[in-house]
RNA sequence: CGGGGUGUGGCGCAGUUGGCUAGCGCACUUGCAUGGGGUGCAAGGGGUCGGAAGUUCGAGUCUUCUCACCCCGACCA
């Protein structure tokens, strides 16, 4: 097979970029740091949105929409929050252009300066909590369970397709509760929703945990996360759920009258996942032949490629293909019949392989004669000839099997690449030679974490939520520790 | 913002001790053959050489300025 793209071993980041480009997921735009998400890539995101949106609705949430622009003053109300985002905000200062008096194009009209600058949202806590103040007076107004699908802007220095771009798409849930307990339960519930989505839809195993102080969301009391491991041994945060305590309620003066008639501050949570998940999907499953997609999120689950020489053969084969397409669609399968005469079958095989279509069906004159079809699966690149009357069942079980095979494969990879380190030497050696997750003891201080980061670039991805307590000594300082935490180099 | 690099048809590149019609691969168009894993042959279309100024008989090539993008660092989902 002709190869004109990189392999993972040759150059992992080039391999990633090649897949994004060649599979037509996205491309760089004329705007620095911003990408164009192409139809095929956007279709994956839409499938993610559809599944997540249903899960949000099923847990009682409703969608709403808040402004893109946030008055600058809002940001200064929560101290940690400002500090966390100040360095990456885009700011609107003017509202009008005019013709350049020098004659070329348009220039900013300096007379149209805004009284108060507007920040383009890097996240919406401030504008939403300013709004919630008006929505909440009594315990009867609680809880508020709102989600919004939106774009946000964080002015990044270094960007990578899907993983880090200046503008990205995401959903952010913002909830308000009468009690700390309820807000915490919500935080955990949504973390579970994310883990469920990652594992059962994306087929990516994730670790659930708590972020260390250094990695915590600016303004949160506690940040929970799901962490996934990519094929190059680096970790990727796939979703976060924050317990915000009463921080934003206090900053925006959001109080409610309790049953007892006392005025109390509202408790909050926020949680989000972004188009970064598309990047995770690529890096978790794809191989040196291109993209590999889990059936549940694949825009096309099964593609039918006709094979023929003469017009007569084309007619016969197409007729059969259309019949199969209709049959499979009735079963709920997303099918594409590629009847373009402008490309040859071999070309199409490579095309769909590169685009990660889980199942491919090829039908030629021989098949029509014999009552068979050729069925190929993308995950393990195997194909077989089966009888036409077994096709429905075969495709359904193949889709199911591919979904599970991808998960098992990713899980096996993570297990192979999760190691314990009990000495500093061992820690550094694993990191340099193998990467992956490292389970090690840590003395619990931000200073130690920072020193480890400075020396190795590895950070604490999370403090696992499981209750495996084990006393030991910090891998860096030797001070006592009661639990292992997860270290890794991360995206 | 610090260090390094690159700008030449849609994409990837060559050409750079100044020299005449600026070239190659892929892609594109047309025709014929081909069609069960990226098809072959033939013909064809397409370029202000990032921009500006300068040196020169002559600039893709030299000089100065400028713009853009990429890579490495600090920051981050």
Of A414, A488, A483, the C-alpha closest to A449 is: A488
Report which of A364, A359, A390 is spatially closest to residue A375, judged by C-alpha positions. A359
Q: Which residues contact A323 (CB under 8 A, 6 or more apart)?
A: none
User: Measured in angstroms, what separates residue A102's CA from nucleotide B49's C1'?
Assistant: 30
Q: Residue A432 — very low, low, confident or very high, per pLDDT cuts 50/70/90?
A: confident
Tell me if A281 sits within 8 A of A204, measured CB to CB.
Answer: yes
| Cβ–Cβ under 8 Å, residues A419 and A211 | no
pLDDT tens digits along A358-376: 999 999 999 999 999 999 9
Structure token digits, residue A87: 């360095």
Question: Does residue A158 approach strand B to less than 7 Å at its CB?
Answer: yes
Residue among A434, A407, A408 at smallest CA distance from A420 = A434
Residue A369 is predicted with a pLDDT of 95
Rounded mean pLDDT, A59-81 = 93
- From residues 32-51 of A, list those within 7 angstroms of strand B by Cβ: 32
CATH superfamily, region A302-398: Anticodon-binding domain (3.40.50.800)
- Tell me the mean pLDDT in the region A252-265: 97
Region A71-94: what's the mean pLDDT? 88
Which residue pairs, CB below 8 angstroms and at least 24 apart, start in A408-417? A409/A285, A409/A379, A410/A203, A410/A204, A410/A205, A410/A284, A410/A285, A411/A205, A413/A229, A413/A231, A414/A205, A414/A229, A417/A229, A417/A233
Nucleic chain B contacts, protein chain A, residues 341-370, CB cut-off 7 A: 341, 344-347, 349-351, 353-354, 362-367
User: CATH 3.30.930.10 in chain A, residues?
Assistant: 12-67+123-285
Pick the CATH number of A12-67+123-285 from 3.30.930.10, 3.40.50.300, 1.10.3210.10, 3.40.50.10490: 3.30.930.10
Residue A325 structure tokens: 């397409």
Give the C-alpha separation, A399 to A294, whole Å. 8
Give the nucleotide nearest to A2 (CA→C1'). Answer: B38
Between A36-40, A80-84, A334-338, the lowest mean confidence (pLDDT) is in: A80-84
Window 389-448 of chain A: CB closer than 7 A to strand B? none
- A274 CA to B25 C1', in Å? 39
CA–C1' gap, A28 and B10, in angstroms: 15
- Within 7 Å: CB of A449 and strand B? no
Q: Nucleotides on strand B with an atom closer than 7 A to protein CB?
A: 1, 34-39, 68-77
pLDDT tens figures, A219-251: 999 999 999 999 999 999 999 999 999 999 999
List C-alpha distances in Å: A415 to A298, A348, A435. Answer: 26, 36, 12
Provide the token pair at A21.
């480009």
Question: What is the percentage of chain A residues whose pLDDT exceeds 70?
Answer: 98
pLDDT of residue A424 exceeding 50, the answer is yes
CA of A38 to C1' of B26 (A): 22
Do the strands A113-120 and A418-420 form a parallel or antiparallel pair, or are they unpaired?
Answer: unpaired
pLDDT single digits (tens) A273-324? 999 999 999 999 999 999 999 999 999 999 999 999 999 999 999 999 999 9
| Gap from A352 CA to B15 C1', Å | 38
Intervals of CATH 3.30.110.30 along chain A: 418-488
The answer to whether the beta carbon of residue A326 comes closer than 7 angstroms to any atom of strand B is no
Which DSSP state fits A34? -
Start-end ranges of CATH 3.40.50.800 in chain A? 302-398
Cβ-count burial A139-174 (b if 16+ within 10 Å, e if not) = beebbbbbbbebebbbbeeebbbbbbbbbbbbbbbb
User: Can you give the pLDDT at residue A102?
Assistant: 65
Q: Is the dihedral of CA A43, A8, A21, A350 positive or negative?
A: negative
Residue A238 to residue A194: CA distance in whole angstroms: 8
The confidence score (pLDDT) of residue A156 equals: 83
Q: Which two tokens stand for residue A438?
A: 């490292």
Q: With a cut of 70, say whether residue A411 has pLDDT above it.
A: yes
Distance CA A156, CA A49 (A): 24
Q: Across chain A, what does the average pLDDT equal?
A: 93
Helix (H) or strand (E) holding A276: helix A276-285
Confidence grade of residue A1 (pLDDT, cut at 50, 70, 90)? very low
CA of A337 vs C1' of B44, distance in Å? 33
3-state secondary structure at position A42: helix
Which residues of chain A between 240 and 279 are close to nucleic strand B, CB under 7 A? 240, 274-276
At the fourth CATH level, which superfamily is domain A418-488?
C-terminal domain of ProRS (3.30.110.30)
């Amino acid at each position: 097979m002709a190869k004109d793209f990189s392999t993972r071993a040759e150059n992992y980041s080039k391999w990633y970029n090649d897949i994004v480009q060649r599979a037509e997921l996205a491309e760089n735009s004329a705007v620095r740091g911003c990408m164009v998400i192409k139809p095929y890539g956007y279709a994956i995101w839409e499938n993610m949105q559809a599944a997540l949106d249903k899960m949000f609705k099923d847990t009682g949430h409703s969608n709403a929409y808040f402004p893109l622009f946030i008055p600058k003053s809002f940001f200064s109300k929560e101290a940690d929050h400002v500090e966390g985002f100040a360095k990456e905000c885009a700011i609107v200062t003017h509202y009008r252009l005019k013709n350049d008096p020098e004659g070329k194009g348009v220039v900013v009209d300096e007379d149209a300066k805004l009284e108060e600058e507007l920040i383009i949202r890097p996240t919406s806590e401030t504008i939403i909590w300013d709004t919630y103040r008006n929505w909440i007076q009594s315990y009867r107004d609680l809880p508020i369970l709102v989600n919004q699908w939106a774009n946000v802007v964080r002015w990044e220095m270094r960007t990578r397709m899907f993983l880090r771009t200046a503008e990205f798409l995401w959903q952010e849930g913002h909830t308000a509760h009468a009690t700390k307990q309820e807000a915490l339960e919500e935080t955990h519930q949504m973390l579970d929703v994310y883990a469920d989505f990652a594992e059962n839809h994306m087929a990516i195993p994730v670790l659930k945990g708590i972020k260390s102080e250094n990695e915590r969301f600016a303004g949160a009391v506690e940040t929970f996360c799901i962490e996934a491991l990519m094929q190059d041994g680096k970790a990727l945060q796939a979703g976060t759920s924050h317990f915000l305590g009463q921080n934003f309620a206090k900053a925006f003066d959001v109080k409610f009258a309790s049953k007892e008639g006392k005025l109390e501050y509202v408790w909050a949570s926020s949680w989000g996942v972004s188009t970064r998940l598309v990047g995770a999907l690529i890096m978790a499953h794809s191989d040196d032949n291109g993209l590999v997609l889990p059936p549940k999120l694949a825009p096309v689950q099964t593609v039918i490629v006709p094979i023929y020489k003469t017009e007569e053969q084309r007619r016969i084969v197409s007729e059969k293909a259309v019949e199969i397409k209709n049959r499979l669609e009735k079963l709920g399968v997303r099918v594409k019949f590629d009847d373009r005469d402008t490309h040859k079958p071999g070309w199409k095989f490579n095309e769909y392989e590169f685009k990660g279509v889980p199942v491919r069906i090829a039908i030629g004159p021989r098949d029509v004669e014999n009552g068979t079809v050729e069925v190929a699966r993308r995950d393990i690149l195997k194909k077989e000839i089966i009888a036409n009357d077994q096709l429905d069942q075969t495709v359904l079980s193949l889709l199911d099997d591919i979904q599970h095979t991808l998960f098992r494969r990713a899980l096996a990879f993570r297990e192979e690449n999760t190691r314990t380190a009990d000495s500093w030497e061992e820690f550094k050696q694993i990191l340099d030679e193998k990467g992956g997750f490292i389970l090690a003891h840590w003395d619990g201080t931000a200073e130690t974490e920072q020193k480890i980061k400075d020396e190795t670039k590895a950070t604490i991805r999370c403090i696992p939520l499981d209750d495996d307590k084990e006393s030991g000594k910090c891998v860096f300082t030797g001070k006592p520790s009661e639990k292992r935490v997860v270290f890794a180099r991360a995206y």
